[in-house]
Amino acid sequence: MNQQETSVSLVKRVYNNAFQFLRTNSAYFKPFLTLAILEFLVLILLYSAPREPLRALLGPPIKTFWGEKFLHYPLNFILLPKLVSRSFMVLSIVFGSLLSGMAVSIILDIYNKKRVQIFNAFKVAIKRYLSLFGILLIINLGYYFIGKFISVTLIKYFYTGHSKLLFMGPKIWLGIIFIAVNFFMAILIQAIFVYSIPAIIIDNKGFHKSIGKSIVLFFKFFIPTVLLVLLPMLLYIPIIVLSSNYIFLMDKLFPEIVFYVEALSIIFSVLIIDPVVTMSTTLLYLKNKEKG
């Protein structure tokens, strides 16, 4: 059996165990449900920003950074995705780090056939909060700044008079290619750091050692790790397609479609993709640990 077949069979075994655990342990979803509720609340707050009483609080910063026009219908929906993206990044770093640690702690209890206790999972995660916070900070800021660098570089390249890059124009590079690059960059960054949180929670490794452990396992299980992150992320492609065509959707349907797509994004990313990726990669971490 070649390496690719071995990797595929390993992924199948991990998924079999993961979905068995997911079907029989509803407590595992509580951290993700908590994060989803927080994101929904923030989405509703930002959606209501142009209306009183929230306009008094959120109106001034929106007016200062983006302009008065984005406090009026329907332009407020053009700004909404950017506000949501920045806010969710903060939620991911501040709260998602703790909740991800709790999820891994719950997986460890399930794996060891122990009784799952949410408060115990919270205590385990809160003790390691600074390391968890640091990992999520690196992942989110890394993704943000690399994406920003690529977009700014492309824009400067074409604005300096170049009409094509590798025989393709700016519409293609700043459109479908940039979206595809962002998608695979997100997968790669997550795959590199995906074992850091299990290393912190399961083996009580510090911030730097957990990153080193994750990088080692990333290269050791390169194909399985990429597949375990990539396959669930494929479910997110329809959301990416919809969110990259907001202006078209607003014109053809109604401006509020932006709100509904952002709400759908929370369901797919936080309640479907994140639980599957966290469960499967943590199980692979544990299986590797068993083998010594």
pLDDT tens across the length of the chain (292 residues): 444 458 889 999 999 999 998 888 889 999 999 999 999 999 999 999 999 888 999 999 999 999 899 999 999 999 999 999 999 999 999 999 999 999 999 999 999 989 889 999 999 999 999 999 999 999 999 998 988 888 888 888 878 877 778 777 778 777 888 888 889 999 999 999 999 999 999 999 999 999 999 999 999 999 999 999 999 999 999 999 999 899 999 999 999 999 999 999 999 999 999 999 999 999 999 999 887 6
Burial 175-212 (b: 16+ CB within 10 A, else e): eebbeebbbeebbbbbbbbbbbbbbbbbeebebeebbe
Euclidean distance between CA atoms 276 and 231, whole angstroms: 10
* 285, 195 Cβ separation under 8 angstroms: yes
pTM of the model: 0.91
Q: Would you give the DSSP letter of residue 51?
A: S
Report residue 23 CA to chain centroid gap: 23
Residue with tokens 């962002």: 182
Q: State the distance between the two ends of the chain, measured CA to CA, in whole angstroms.
A: 23
Nearest Cα to 258, choosing from 269, 245, 268? 245
